Amino acid sequence: MLKKLLALVAMLFAVASFAAVDVNTATEAELDGIKGIGPGLSGRILEERRSAPFKDWNDFIGRVGGVGHKSAVNFSKEGLTVGGKKYSAAAAAKAEAKNQRGHKKQAPAQGADRKAQEGPGKDAAAPVTPPPESTSAASASKN
Strands, DSSP E only, in 18-139?
A: 21-22, 80-81
Q: Cα-flanking dihedrals φ and ψ of residue 85, to 5°?
A: -110, 140
Give the model confidence (pLDDT) of 51-83 as tens digits: 999 999 999 999 999 999 999 999 999 999 999
What's the structural domain count of the chain? 1
Instruction: With respect to residue 53, please indicate whether it lies within any of the assigned structural domains.
Output: yes
Instruction: With respect to residue 82, please indicate whether it lies within any of the assigned structural domains.
Output: yes
How far from 115 is each of 103, 105, 107, 120, CA to CA, in Å?
18, 17, 13, 8
Burial class (CB within 10 angstroms; exposed 0-12, middle 13-18, buried 19+) of 72: buried
Instruction: With respect to residue 80, please indicate whether it lies within any of the assigned structural domains.
Output: yes
Instruction: With respect to residue 35, please indicate whether it lies within any of the assigned structural domains.
Output: yes
**pLDDT below 50 — which residues of the chain?**
9, 12-16, 107-108, 113-114, 116
Taking the C-alpha atoms of residue 7 and residue 9, their distance in angstroms, rounded to an integer, is: 5
Domain span at 59: 26-102
Instruction: With respect to residue 6, please indicate whether it lies within any of the assigned structural domains.
Output: no
Instruction: With respect to residue 75, please indicate whether it lies within any of the assigned structural domains.
Output: yes
The pLDDT value recorded for residue 98 is: 72
Instruction: With respect to residue 74, please indicate whether it lies within any of the assigned structural domains.
Output: yes
Q: What's the whole-model pTM score?
A: 0.54
The pLDDT value recorded for residue 15 is: 45
